[in-house]
């Protein structure tokens, strides 16, 4: 058997170009590729430019910086959005606070205005109550006045008739007294005078009956109207008493 020459290369894909493959040489199968490793970039702290090493100049390219400084991990998206949205949130909060303060101020202003309106309405209601009380009193006075005027209007015709009746009675009494006085003056008292006593007695009796009738009528009307008769009645009664004494037999 001939020799078997096995050549293993360092890399699975590289083969010496100078060595020509022989017909009897057998190459080994390539090894499986290793699993890909996940490389995590180390976090890099932010370093101010004034604290950086003087070896790192401002003219150095960005490709050289990772060799000098550890790589910086990217900022998570959540923190970035929060940092971006925080000014908007603050602005919204300030606007909401301003709105709430303005609403509270407006409510306080409306409450004060409503309180003032209620106070003014209370004063007006008290004034209206006082005016209603006064109007009720005036209405009661007017109703009583109207009732009294209606009663007086109903009694006025009777009062007019009574005044006319009173005048007629006064005139008749005065005339009767005057007639009796004249008759008494015409009676002869001294001298040789012959008088028919029966005729004089009959005349005086008839006059006395008339006077009694008049006095009875007048006294009947006195308690109804509380009317005080004039002095003619007393004069008439005195005259009647005087004639009665004259007619007494001697």
Q: How far apart, in whole angstroms, are the C-alpha atoms of residue 81 and residue 202? A: 149
Reduce the DSSP state of residue 51 to 3 states and report it.
Answer: helix
Q: Could you tell me the pLDDT band of residue 37, with boundaries at 50, 70 and 90?
A: low
Pick from 3-12, 23-32, 147-156: least confident:
3-12
| Percent of the chain topping pLDDT 70 | 48
**Average pLDDT in the chain:** 68
Q: Could you tell me the pLDDT band of residue 85, with boundaries at 50, 70 and 90?
A: low
| Percent of the chain topping pLDDT 90 | 11
pLDDT of amino acid 249: 52
The HSE-up count of residue 114 (CA atoms within 13 Å, CB side) is: 6
DSSP letters spanning 178-234: HHHHHHHHHS--SSS----HHHHHHHHHHHHHHHHHHHHHHHHHHHHHT----HHHH
**Taking residues 22-51, what's their average pLDDT?**
54
> Where is pLDDT greater, at 92 or 63?
92
**CB atoms inside a 10 Å sphere around CB 247:** 13
**CB atoms inside a 10 Å sphere around CB 112:** 10
Q: Could you tell me the pLDDT band of residue 40, with boundaries at 50, 70 and 90?
A: low
Residues in contact with 217: Cβ distance below 8 Å, sequence separation at least 6, in sequence order: 169
Q: Give yes or no for residue 232 having a pLDDT over 80.
A: no
* 232 and 181 Cβ atoms separated by less than 8 Å: no
pLDDT of amino acid 95: 85
Q: Residue 173, exposed/middle/buried by CB under 10 A (0-12, 13-18, 19+)? A: buried
* 30 and 12 Cβ atoms separated by less than 8 Å: yes
Q: Give yes or no for residue 60 having a pLDDT over 70.
A: no
132-153 pLDDT per residue, tens: 999 999 998 999 888 888 888 8
Torsion sign over Cα 8, 9, 14, 19: negative
57: DSSP letter: -
**Taking residues 169-192, what's their average pLDDT?**
74
Q: How far apart, in whole angstroms, are the C-alpha atoms of residue 138 and residue 151? A: 20
Q: How far apart, in whole angstroms, are the C-alpha atoms of residue 147 and residue 153? A: 10
In the chain, alpha helices (H): 65-68, 77-186, 197-225, 231-247
Q: How far apart, in whole angstroms, are the C-alpha atoms of residue 166 and residue 222? A: 11
First to last CA, the chain: 227
């Amino acid at each position: 058997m001939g020799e078997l020459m096995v050549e293993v290369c360092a890399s699975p894909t590289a083969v010496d170009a100078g060595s020509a493959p022989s017909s009897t040489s057998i190459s080994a199968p390539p090894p499986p590729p290793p699993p890909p490793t996940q490389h995590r970039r180390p976090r890099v702290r932010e370093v101010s430019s004034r604290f950086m090493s003087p070896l790192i100049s401002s003219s150095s390219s960005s490709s050289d910086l990772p060799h000098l400084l550890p790589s910086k991990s990217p900022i998570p998206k959540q923190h970035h959005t929060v940092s971006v949205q925080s000014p908007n949130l603050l602005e919204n909060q300030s606007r909401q606070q301003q709105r709430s303060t303005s609403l509270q101020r407006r409510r306080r202003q409306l409450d004060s205005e409503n309180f003032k309106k209620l106070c003014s309405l209370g004063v007006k209601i008290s004034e209206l109550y006082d005016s209603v009380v006064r109007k009720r009193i005036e209405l009661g006075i007017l109703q009583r006045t109207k009732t009294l005027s209606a009663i007086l209007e109903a009694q006025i015709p009777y009062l007019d008739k009574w005044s006319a009746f009173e005048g007629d009675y006064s005139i008749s009494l005065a005339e009767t007294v005057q007639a009796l006085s004249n008759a008494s003056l015409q009676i002869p008292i001294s001298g040789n005078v012959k008088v028919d006593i029966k005729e004089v007695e009959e005349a005086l009796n008839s006059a006395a009956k008339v006077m009694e009738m008049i006095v009875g009528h007048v006294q009947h009307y006195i308690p109804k109207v509380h009317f005080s008769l004039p002095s003619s009645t007393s004069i008439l009664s005195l005259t009647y008493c005087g004639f009665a004494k004259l007619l007494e037999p001697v």
